[in-house]
Structure 1
Amino acid sequence: MVQQFFILCSGADTFILKTCSQGEQNKYAGIGATVFFTALMAFIASSYALYTVFDNVYTATFFGLIWGLLIFNLDRFIVSTIKKRNNFGNELLQAAPRLVLAIIIAVVISKPLEMKIFEKEINQVLLEQKNEMTLTNKNQLALQYTPNIEKLNTAIGVLKSEITFKEAETNALYTTYITEAEGTSGTLKLGKGPVYEEKREKHDAALAELQQLKESNSEKIIAIENQISTLNAEYSDVVKDSQPVIDGFDGLMARINALNELPWWPSFFIFLLFLAIETSPIIAKLLSPKGTYDIKLDEEESMVNTWARQKIQQREQMLLADTALNEKIYNEIKREEEVYAYKKKKAEELLKLQADAFKGIQVKQL
């Protein structure tokens, strides 16, 4: 039962193969088993690859099954259409397009399985790429907010410097009137005289201005700090909203690119393994000698070709015979029509003569 199933997978003519030896049947059962397991590997590989795209087991399994059946049909077609010839060069030329197709199929099958085998390494590469993308994204978004924030911080610095400058001025006036009272500067008279009062009034006025400046600038600084807080909040929200895009950067193409970042030789040998599996039925067909099945298949095809040529020749001879017979028949009919026309013409002439004679007799009687 299993052998018959694998023979069916090989695409061989089961009716002819049943008349061959057991060894010949085993050979084609082995070829069919290779075709079947290659399609099975294609189903597994494509299902995993599609799972990374759809993130749904049932969808990936459904389309993976379709892909596996497609690969099975292609491999079965490739193997079944290679015919054994008496010249190896002709056989190789016949198999060349099929070998190219087998290489393409091997690449398609091996890549998803490579991604599964090296999944941990690929995840590490993707993590590094995501971290780099996160930093780049933050820096790019910061370029939209940093200039405004820096301007606002500069404005805060200007307001604070105004207060600092006013404080220094007020402190200088304080020192002036204190030293005036002590007699160490100014008039150099000890006590609180008119000059002291004048300087004290200037200090008090400057102190009042300083207090008012602090209040007004403090309000401005608070308002500016609120603007900075708003911009920082907007920046944080934008970074947060864009982060899921970076976190979702693990699709099929991203994983293929990450796989290419890894050392090439493990992937290359896995590809060679699947290439060997995919091309093994074709190579087996090319290297195996012409067996009983091939001889009987050639005989069957030769019988069909001979029968077809014989039928074509018979139809051509029938056409020639029918054409000659029809020409003969129509030529005879044509000659009979000529005799009929001649007789008709003479009869008409005779009737005319009889009418003329009858007319002459009638004229004489008058």
Structure 2
Amino acid sequence: MLKQFFIICSGADTDILEQCSKGEQNKYAGIGATVFFTAVMAFIAASYALYTVFDNLYASIFFGLVWGLLIFNLDRYIVSTIKKTDSFIDEIIQASPRIILAIIIAIVISKPLELKIFEKEINQVLLEQKNEMTLANKTQIAEQFAPNITALQNDITSLQNEINGKETEVNTLYDTYISEAEGTAGTKLLGKGPVYSEKREKHDAALLELQQLKAENKNKITAIESQIGQLKGDFETQIVSTQPIINNFDGLMARVNALGELPWLPSLFIFLLFLAIETSPIFAKLLSPKGAYDFKLEDQETAVKTNVLQNKNQREAMLKTDYAINDKIYSDIENEDELYTYKRKKAREIMQLQADAFYKQQKNVL
């Protein structure tokens, strides 16, 4: 049962193969088993690759099954269409397009399995890439908000400097009227005279201005700090909203690119393994000697071809003969008086009928 299934997978003619030896049947059963298990590996590889894309188990299995059946059909077609001839060069030329197709299939099958085999290493590469992308993302977002925040902080500094300048002025006026009262400066008179009162009034007026300035600038600084807080909140919100995009940066293309950053030698060995599996049925047929199955198949095909050619030639000969007979018949009756008289009579009748019809038509017009 299993042997018969693998023979069907090989694409061989089961009716012809039943007439061959057990060894010949085993050879094609082995070729069919290779075709079948290659399709199974293609199913597994495609299912895993599609799972990384759709993140849905059932959809991945369904499309993976379709891909596996497609690979099975292609491999079966490739193996079944390679015919054994007496020239090895002709066989190589005949198989070269199929070998190229087998190489393409091997690449497609091996790549998803490489992603699974080196999954831990790929995850490490993706983690490093995500960290770099996170830092780069923060830097880019900060570049959007930094100029506005810096400008607002400069406004706060300017307002604070304005207060500090006014405080310095008030402190200077304070020192002036205190020195006047102590007699250490100004008029050099001890006590609170008219000059002292004048300087004290200037100080008090400046102090009042300072208090008003502090109140006004405090309100302005509070408003600016609120704007800065809003900008920083927007900055954090944008970082939080964009981070999931970075966290989900682990799709099929990202994993393939991450695989490309790993050492290439292990990937090459895996590819060569699947290439050997994929091309083994082809080379098995190329390298194996011409067996009983090949002779019987060739005999059957040449018999059909010979029969078709014979029928074609026979029909052509019959058609040629028929042409010659018809030409001879018409040539013999060409000069017969009886046929001439009969056709002359019929032509006269046709001309009379035409003349009568024309006469009636003209009469109706008049």
Q: What's the TM-score once normalised by structure 1's chain length?
A: 0.91
- For 1:215 and 1:128, locate their aligned partners in 2 and report how far apart those are by CA, in whole Å: 51
Distance 1:302 1:344, change over 3 A: closer
Structure 1 stretch displaced more, 175-184 or 4-13: 175-184
Structure 1 stretch displaced more, 188-197 or 20-29: 188-197
- Aligned partner of 1:31 in structure 2 is 31
- For 2:54 and 2:105, locate their aligned partners in 1 and report how far apart those are by CA, in whole Å: 22
Aligned-partner residue type, residue 256 of structure 1: V
- Aligned partner of 2:197 in structure 1 is 197
* Dislocated runs of 4+, deviation >6 Å: 342-345
Aligned-partner residue type, residue 69 of structure 1: L
- Aligned partner of 1:316 in structure 2 is 316
Question: Are residues 1:86 and 2:86 paired?
Answer: yes
Deviation at 1:107, TM superposition (A): 0.3
Deviation at 1:321, TM superposition (A): 2.0
- For 1:240 and 1:146, locate their aligned partners in 2 and report how far apart those are by CA, in whole Å: 18
Deviation at 1:228, TM superposition (A): 0.9
- For 2:230 and 2:335, locate their aligned partners in 1 and report how far apart those are by CA, in whole Å: 115
Deviation at 1:251, TM superposition (A): 1.1
- Aligned partner of 2:164 in structure 1 is 164
SS of the equivalent of 1:334 reads coil
- For 2:327 and 2:242, locate their aligned partners in 1 and report how far apart those are by CA, in whole Å: 90
- For 1:214 and 1:40, locate their aligned partners in 2 and report how far apart those are by CA, in whole Å: 81
Deviation at 1:327, TM superposition (A): 2.1
- RMSD of the TM alignment (CA)? 1.7
Q: How does 1:97-136 map to 2 (within 5 A)?
A: 97-136=97-136
Structure 1 stretch displaced more, 194-203 or 27-36: 194-203
Question: Are residues 1:216 and 2:219 paired?
Answer: no
Deviation at 1:217, TM superposition (A): 0.2
Aligned-partner residue type, residue 2 of structure 2: V
Question: Are residues 1:280 and 2:291 paired?
Answer: no
- For 1:37 and 1:105, locate their aligned partners in 2 and report how far apart those are by CA, in whole Å: 14
- Aligned partner of 1:243 in structure 2 is 243
- For 1:289 and 1:251, locate their aligned partners in 2 and report how far apart those are by CA, in whole Å: 48
Aligned-partner residue type, residue 15 of structure 1: D
Deviation at 1:195, TM superposition (A): 1.5
Structure 1 stretch displaced more, 332-341 or 112-121: 332-341
Over the matched positions of the two proteins, sequence identity in percent amounts to 68
Deviation at 1:66, TM superposition (A): 0.7
- Aligned partner of 2:5 in structure 1 is 5
- For 1:333 and 1:61, locate their aligned partners in 2 and report how far apart those are by CA, in whole Å: 80
- Aligned partner of 2:294 in structure 1 is 294
Aligned-partner residue type, residue 49 of structure 1: A
Deviation at 1:339, TM superposition (A): 5.5
Aligned-partner residue type, residue 187 of structure 1: T
Deviations 1:110-136 (Å, cap 9, x if unpaired)?
000000111111111111111111111
Aligned-partner residue type, residue 3 of structure 2: Q
- For 1:60 and 1:344, locate their aligned partners in 2 and report how far apart those are by CA, in whole Å: 86
Structure 1 stretch displaced more, 186-195 or 77-86: 186-195
- For 1:343 and 1:74, locate their aligned partners in 2 and report how far apart those are by CA, in whole Å: 69
Structure 1 stretch displaced more, 321-330 or 194-203: 321-330
Deviation at 1:288, TM superposition (A): 0.7
Deviations 1:257-282 (Å, cap 9, x if unpaired)?
00001111111100000000000001
Deviations 1:209-262 (Å, cap 9, x if unpaired)?
110000000000011111111111122222222222222211111110000011
Structure 1: state its 5+ residue gaps: 349-366
Structure 1 stretch displaced more, 184-193 or 299-308: 184-193
Structure 1 stretch displaced more, 234-243 or 249-258: 234-243
Distance 1:188 1:341, change over 3 A: same
Question: Are residues 1:230 and 2:227 paired?
Answer: no
- Aligned partner of 2:153 in structure 1 is 153
Deviation at 1:333, TM superposition (A): 3.5
- For 1:32 and 1:337, locate their aligned partners in 2 and report how far apart those are by CA, in whole Å: 78
- Aligned partner of 2:186 in structure 1 is 186
The count of corresponding residues between Structure 1 and Structure 2 is 346
- Aligned partner of 2:352 in structure 1 is none
Distance 1:344 1:85, change over 3 A: closer
